[in-house]
Structure 1
Amino acid sequence: GPFTQMVLGVTMITDVLVIALFAVNSSVVDALLSNLPFDLQFVGILLLEIAIEVGLGYLVGRLLALIMARHAGQWGKGTLLVIIGFGVFTAAHAVRDFSAAYLPFELFLEPLLICLIASFVLANYTPYRTEFMRILEEVSPPIYVVFFTLTGASLALDVLAQTWPIAVALFLARLVAIYAGSFAGGVAARDPMPYNRMSWMTFITQAGVGLGLAKEVSVAYPEWGGSFATLVISVIVVSQLVGPPLFKAAINRVGEAHGRGHGTAGDDREWRALIFGLEGQSVALARLLTSQGWHVRIASRQAGTRPDLDSAGVNITPIQELSLETMHALEAERADAIVTMLSNAENTLVCQTAYEHFGTERLVARMSERDNFDQLRALGVIIVEPSTAMVGLLDQFVRTPVATSLLLGMEEHQSIVDIEMRNPALEGLMVRELRLPLDVLILSIRRGGGMLVSHGYSRLQVGDWITVVGSPESLEIVTNQFVGVPGGVTAVP
């Protein structure tokens, strides 16, 4: 929503300004410690440092683009990125030492600002933004582990014991300043008053940039930098404890959380599907699901004008509008699957309502165009494009005819089902320890939104969705084994 977008934008701008101001303040501190006068020469040196940082950042960004253009593996590129990042920090310290030894003034180059400009150039002026972000996600975990371990090891508890009142005072002062600044900025920007009163709650959290800069201070000024870093890190820790709950509360209060709701689907042994849209394909789908043991209802605004509803042989319910009240009347909270065959905008409305208010696990939308595609994907909707679906189906028939026939239910004595594991007696068992019928094969295990390729040493957890292939008789045995309790969810036909 607009409030969340505003918060993200302000947070990113704040991080950029903090790094830039840190570079300027570092030069000022160097001047104070070196007893240099604040004159035009100092301003010239400061502008020279900024120009060098911008130039180096641009060159590093272009170098990164050359690496991204190479046909190398993800880890190979990631290793080069880490080496270049380390090289930037090393070069910045080398320039500072060289200038202090051979020049009448000292050049302080901020490596974080150089890397920031480099990533900005790569992400906005090259076609490698997506790949760059993916590589960063892959290589960042070990770097985070080392960084936060080093940060924790550098905390001086004896200093913290003496300075904790100052840390609390700094935190409170920061809190007041954030509230005043965010409220005044919101009023100046003519944001809604509820946004202005709550925006401060989203800016309390701080971690990465602040910790990195605090660590830089402790390294650059060993005489007093350690105590200063301990004080700053203490404020950051308090902010991390207070900030996230306040952030969550603000997003919820403005109504932009859009979290998954909770319905009652799966509380009994009957599978229910709700289809929006009345046409030949929806009726055919309803009949097919009904033949597989599903309870299906079709909802349509045009159903009231059709005199041939009884001849369709399926449950068709007329509705007046697409709204939350209508979906409650249709018992959408009990639906295990919701299928939409409407316009793209209407598909998005139905799927978003089902996601936020009922938490429906299986949302399927037939899309005629790619409008709202990303929005639906973010909700976890399975999107079917008729033009590409037929081509993909034919492709699968050519390359894997047997597997495709199984998936489509064309094999008379074989079927594929999804079963939710609810038997606590099987918790922690390995797949190879299960006594399954000989004609049953476990294909995959879905856990927490991720797909696991099953093997004999995969351990089961309650709540896993297990995809199984076998004969109908054997699948019934496996279903009872995985459910294990009365009233548990049975296999999905």
Structure 2
Amino acid sequence: MPNHGPALGSLVLVAVLAFVVPLLLNRLRRVRVPIAAGEILAGMLVGKSGLGLVHSDELLSIFNFLGIGALMFLAGMEIDLAALVGGGARPKGRPAWLARLHQPLALGAALFLLTAYGAWWFAHRLHARGLVEEPLFLTLIVATCGLSIIMPVLKERNMFADPFGQVLFSTAVIADFLPMLGLSVLAAVRLNGSALEALWILALLGFGVLVYLAARWLQRFKLLEGLTGGTAQISVRAAWALMLVFLALAQTVGVEAILGSFLAGLLLSMLAGSHREEISHKLDALGFGFLIPIFFVMVGVEFDLRALLSDPAALALVPLLLGGTILVKALPGVLLAIWHPLRRTLAGMALLTTQMSVTIAASAVAYTVGAYGASTHAAVVLVAIVTAILGPILFNRILGDAGPEPERTGVVLAGMNRLSLHLGRRLLAHGVPVSAVDEHPERVQEFAGAGISAVLSHPSAEEGLRQAGAERARALVALTGDERSNLAAARLGRSQFGIPRAILFATSPECLAEAAQEGLEAVNPDLSPALLVESLLTSPGATALLTGEDRDVQIQDFTLTGGPLVGTALRDARLPAGVLVVSVLRGAEKIVPHGNTVLQQGDLLTVVGPPESWEAMRRLAAGQSV
């Protein structure tokens, strides 16, 4: 029978390896090896350094190219510019004037510049010894940071709202983007022999600005409404189309494709707004589930260990490159000691030595344009793998066990009026600790008389919110008569105190749009009575559950943080008597549960049941004995 199609043998083997590697690494409990590093090692086993079972053909080259494009695209998607620029959390235990100088973005830039200078010095020392031909390429490669490794580490320890975590994140973002930009310029000069060709990078950036402005204008017409789910999945289609357009455009004008893909991801992150996490979750499925593993496996397949071992100079480069990289990337972290304890500073220094995705992609570009040979490229990849494993391990070892996060139980009301007094009383009746902040002494006295912890301060003042217990609050509700003050209080609660839910009252379209863009929950009080009456008319039973008017059966939310429910199918879950789970919120995914639904840690469970079961359900969701 004739063969009507490309040979799939190598692609099938790569896909099988991409499936098997996470299963094997999951069995390693003591040493957490990043999946990307495991995929590279698997590729080395079956590639030219090992068994020689996989060879790069035309089909694999296409998927490999799409894999690195998807990797850079999703790296750009990870950057939340609003959170990066607005990260204003300040460290504790330092004088106020010193704490105000703790600006994560500025500190991240300072740490990167110090690292870049150290990398330049180190690369020129290697060049003087004849180990490196073009030190500028190596300078940029050493200065890169493993954002794809650092982000999951910070997420696991819930450090994104922490000022320490914000500095590490800012540094990793800058160390991903700027070296990539510089590398694109160097590659353009190397290939074309003229710096004028690098001006196309500015044209690409300008095109990105035009696309952003056009997309914001088109968003007014709500063309995508009704097409985000089902078989349409219009947001996913738009995302991959945007990536391919920028990939093709970058190739056409002679700019490195990885820069075009990265810019496309950054552009989508800016346009997605409050839907960013949901879109990113969908894109991760295809990116990290298929395309990106192919790239990492192929890095291992093309890794030439024999060339490295047969080249004494390149072999000598490995320990020098590893030691130098760790040194020049860790030393600038000493700056963190001005604001943070010694243990945290040492942990941050260790994590900032981490390299991986961008480093390997940048080295592949340097190798492709002839900046150095296969053996030097192999040395750079090997060092990146080692730092990707060592950095997170040292970070977690130095910091020690994170331990359970202190339980947040209270609610802070920013503003005292008739509505907040009524809300406070109802929350107290449900056993929820409530505190309120206002600058009017007579209101403070009235609230204190109602049993609500009252603080005399401006509702959007940091110190007032701190006195009201914002550091232990699970929610902040800003409901003064000034919507800008409400927005400021909500921002402060989220950025400074890490309050999971920040709710504010606002009526103007501008304020409502700002809140939605920043992930804050805005309520329009002008519409609330009409919506409640509408609910009473159309869904009286459900409204009675939501408002608590039905004293026998009510509705409540519980966050699953541990215990026997984690990893258990709903049909096997031993819930308190009369309790029924009606909804599961998992990240941005809303799940209508059935018997086979397996509960996971972090799930937000919406349950219906008798109020007397709430305490037992709360303890069960928290992993405590019932």
Corresponding residue SS for 1:424: coil
Matching residue within 267, 272, 296 for 1:148:
296
Structure 2 counterpart SS, 1:386: coil
Contact 1:57 1:114 in 2 (8 A): no
Q: 2:188 aligns with which of 23, 27, 36?
A: 23
Let me know the Cα RMSD of the aligned residues.
5.6
- Paired residues of 2:181 and 2:259 also in contact (CA < 8 A): no
- Seq. identity, %: 20
| Alignment partner, residue 480 of structure 1 | 616
User: Is 1:385–2:524 an aligned residue pair?
Assistant: yes
Whether 1:340 and 2:474 are equivalent positions in the alignment is: no
The amino acid that maps onto 1:112 is A
Q: Distance in 2 between matches of 1:424 and 1:112?
A: 47
Alpha-carbon shift at residue 349 of structure 1 (Å): 5.7
- Secondary structure of residue in 2 paired with 1:23: helix
Give TM-score scaled by structure 1 length: 0.62
Number of the residue aligned with 1:167: 318
Residue 244 (structure 2) pairs with residue 115 (structure 1): no
After TM superposition, list the pairs within 5 Å mapping 1:423-462 onto structure 2. Answer: 424-434=563-573, 440-446=579-585, 451-461=590-600
Describe the shift of the 1:203–1:318 C-alpha distance in structure 2 as closer, same or farther (beyond 3 A). Answer: closer
CA deviation string 1:330-354 (max 9, x = no partner): 4555545433323456545655665
Against the structure 1 CA distance between its residues 393 and 148, is the aligned structure 2 distance closer, same or farther, given a 3 Å change threshold? farther
Question: Is the CA contact 1:419–1:482 (under 8 Å) kept in the aligned structure 2?
Answer: yes
Aligned mate of 1:317, from 424, 431, 454: 454
2:214 aligned with 1:214, yes or no?
no
Structure 2 residues not aligned, in runs of 5+: 1-87, 89-102, 110-169, 225-231, 340-344
Distance 2:238 2:621 in 1: 51
Instruction: Kindly report which structure 2 residues correspond to 1:77-476, keeping only aligned pairs within 5 A, or say none.
Output: 77=238, 80=241, 109-112=254-257, 115=260, 119=264, 123=267, 134=279, 137=283, 139-141=286-288, 142-160=290-308, 163-170=314-321, 207-216=356-365, 218=367, 225-237=373-385, 240=388, 263-266=406-409, 272-304=410-442, 313-315=450-452, 317-320=454-457, 326-327=464-465, 329-333=467-471, 335-342=473-480, 343-344=482-483, 346-347=485-486, 350-351=489-490, 354-355=493-494, 359-367=498-506, 369=508, 370-371=510-511, 374=514, 378=518, 381-390=520-529, 392-393=531-532, 396=535, 400-411=539-550, 413-421=552-560, 424-434=563-573, 440-446=579-585, 451-461=590-600, 464-470=603-609, 472=610, 475-476=611-612
**CA shift at 1:457, angstroms?**
1.3
Q: Which amino acid aligns with 1:21?
A: L
Give the match's secondary structure for 2:607. strand
Aligned to 1:257: none
Separation in 1, partners of 2:258, 2:620: 59
CA drift at 1:233: 1.8
- Match of 1:387, SS state, is coil
Deviations 1:98-148 (A, max 9, x none): xxxxxxxxxx9455278369849x959xx9787999589455333322211
Summarize deviations over 1:212-268 as a string: whole Å, max 9, x none: 24334556769x8432321232344456567789999xxx9xxxxxxxx954545xx
Label 1:392 to 1:235 Cα distance change in 2 as closer, same or farther (>3 A): farther
After superposing the two structures, state which structure 1 stretch, 425-434 or 445-454, moved more. Answer: 445-454
Equivalent-residue separation in structure 2 for 1:485 and 1:209 (angstroms): 39
Distance (Å, rounded) in 2 between the aligned partners of 1:58 and 1:486: 50
| Structure 1 gap segments, 5+ residues each | 29-42, 93-107, 184-193, 253-260, 267-271
For 2:183, what is the secondary structure of its paired residue? helix
Deviation readout 1:323-379 (Å, 9 max, x if unpaired) = 66655554555545433323456545655665567654444333355559757875x
Q: Deviations over 1:175-222 (max 9, x none)?
A: 788899x99xxxxxxxxxx89xx9x97986654444224334556769
Alignment partners' CA distance in 2, 1:118 and 1:485: 41
Alignment-mate amino acid for residue 479 of structure 2: M
Aligned equivalents of 2:489, 2:205: Cα separation in 1? 46
Cα distance change of structure 1 residues 75 and 346 upon mapping to structure 2, 3 Å threshold: closer
- Partner of 1:468, secondary structure, is strand
Q: One-letter code of the match for 2:316?
A: P
Counterpart-to-counterpart distance in 2, 1:178 and 1:148: 24
Q: Measured at CA, do residues 396 and 152 of structure 1 come closer, stay the same or move farther in structure 2, by a change above 3 Å?
A: farther
In the TM superposition, residue 282 of structure 1 has moved relative to its aligned partner by: 1.0
Amino acid at match of 1:19: S
- For 1:38, the equivalent position in structure 2 comes to none
Report the residue type matching 2:584 in the other structure: I
Q: Distance in 2 between matches of 1:393 and 1:428?
A: 37
Residues 429 and 115 of structure 1: CA distance in aligned 2, closer, same or farther (over 3 Å)? closer
The Cα of 1:444 is off from its aligned counterpart by 1.7
Q: Distance in 2 between matches of 1:170 and 1:115?
A: 29
Matched letter for residue 184 of structure 2 = I
Deviates more, 1:352-361 or 1:448-457: 352-361
Q: Please say which structure displays the higher CA radius of gyration.
A: 1
